[in-house]
Amino acid sequence: MTMEQVKAAEAKLLLATYERNPILFTGGEGVHLKDEDGNLYLDLLSGIGVNALGYAHPAIERAIAEQSRKLIHVSNLFYHPGQAELALRLTEISGMDRAFFSNSGTEAWEAAMKVARAYSGLLREEGKTIGTKFLAISNSFHGRTFGSVSTTYKAKYREPFGPTVPGVDFVRFNDVEDLRAKFSSDVCAILLEPIQGEGGIRPVSQEFFAAARELTQSTGALLVADEIQSGLGRTGKWFAYRHYGIQPDITTVAKPLAGGLPLGAMLCTEEVARAIHPGMHGTTFGGGPLACAVAIAVIDEIKSTRLLDHVTAVGTYFKDGLLALQAEHPSIVEVRGEGLMLAAQLDSAELAKSVLAALLSRRILINRTDETVLRFLPPFILEREHVDATLRAIDEILAGLEAESAGQLQEAVLQGGR
Ligand SMILES: Cc1ncc(COP(=O)(O)O)c(C=O)c1O
């Protein structure tokens, strides 16, 4: 099928959930995607933070080939070696004790919410005073299923599907006073992304994170960190909460976990895990042998090639480059992020749209989030030369757009004077 045929067929056959860019990708290698005509695109989005090892990585290909010959699915009614081996790695890098495997980020988040509610129930049984309320954060994004969407801030994601899950209140981002005012023994958990992803690559402040930890500890409520976008090395540490020296009670991971295959995990402490017994929660596909084998290969590859050090080094180089661009272009309002989870916020949504389109025409892929934010989530294997090419392109595009709008302004002034 050609691009036009695929587009026409999708328009007729699929639920209209996506506004796709008109490119038909058929392959990829390293940090590049390839379209139907063989054109290469420098990919700084990596399937929204998924393809951490880029495309056609030999470690992933090998794991898929070997495991698919052995066993792809067996259900959670039986044992296979993958979940224990993967849980061993995930608990070691996260400082957690136990894992539950899902198929996606949103399911990992549902598990986190359900476990937090169940744990509060256990505490009540044990005679503690604790409620069932969740405190989420403004501008948060936790996924599209009902629990996740109920804790996701923006009305456009929630309102068409109301009523959503009750018992959720939102605290203003990084507003410690608001957090303290809304926290009480009614709260069973504070839910936050250490670095908000869809919300525009916004790190929570040390003060806010620490206050959330202190408040939850004071009542037995849980601190739940969503690391679905920031986790597994994207920020240069295995988990973004490691930058803060704060250990949550529950965390969730997904996107890069299985090298592009669907897999998520909810990780928690031994204390919290007391709340769950066989039959309370589960999944048919989650934690299948194939996805687990690939996730083990991904983690081992990141470790053996010291890729986190590379993420930190290239990420710092990239961020410094963006900051240098900000000094040249006042339309860049702010540069944010850690490692290879970076953003440049522009002064208007229109400008951000134009920059995105111009980058696409130069075959560089990024995306726009929170209207004005250019978001960079490249594969961890990105090199400085790719950063240089991207920065050069943004510099030229912004200069061109600035000249254009200066010209339009001059024209308007001249016309006004006529
Ligand atoms: C922080 C965060 N949580 C949850 C999700 C939902 O993950 P998924 O799309 O795999 O369900 C996302 C996806 O973008 C995310 O960024």
Walk along the chain (418 residues) in steps of 10 and give the mean pLDDT of each run: 94 96 96 97 98 98 98 98 98 98 98 98 98 98 98 96 97 98 98 98 98 98 98 98 98 98 98 98 98 98 98 98 98 98 98 98 97 98 98 97 85 77
CA 142 – ligand 1 centroid, Å: 5
* CA–CA gap between residue 276 and residue 257 (Å, rounded): 24
Four-residue CA torsion sign, 269, 271, 273, 275: negative
SS3 220: coil
Q: Is the CB of 260 under 6 A from ligand 1?
A: no
Kindly give, in sequence order, each residue whose CB lies less than 8 Å from that of residue 82, ignoring residues fewer than 6 positions away: 67, 287, 288, 289, 291, 292, 293, 296
Phi-psi region of 154 (alpha: psi -120 to 50; beta: other; left: phi over 0): beta
Distance CA 252, CA 266 (A): 5
Residue 418, pLDDT score:
61
pLDDT confidence of residue 136: 98
Tokens matching residue 212 = 């959330």
DSSP 229-291: TTTTTTTSSSSGGGGTT---SEEEE-TTTBBTB--EEEEE-HHHHTT--TTSS--SSTT-HHH
Cα atoms found within 13 Å of the Cα of residue 263, Cβ hemisphere only = 27
Q: Which atom of ligand 1 is nearest to the CA of 262?
A: 10
Q: Where are the beta strands (DSSP E) in 117-226?
A: 133-137, 168-171, 187-192, 195-196, 202-203, 222-226
| Ligand 1 atom at shortest distance from the alpha carbon of 107 | 11
Distance CA 386, CA 43 (A): 9
Residue partners of 310: CB distance under 8 A and separation at least 6: 380, 381
d(CA 403, CA 331): 12
* Number of the ligand 1 atom closest to the C-alpha atom of 196: 1
Most distant pair of Cα atoms in the chain: their distance: 82
Token output for 59: 């470690």
Q: Which residues pair with 268 in a beta bridge?
A: 98, 250
> Whose alpha carbon is nearest atom 10 of ligand 1?
105
Q: Give, using CA atoms, the residue closest to atom 6 of ligand 1.
A: 143
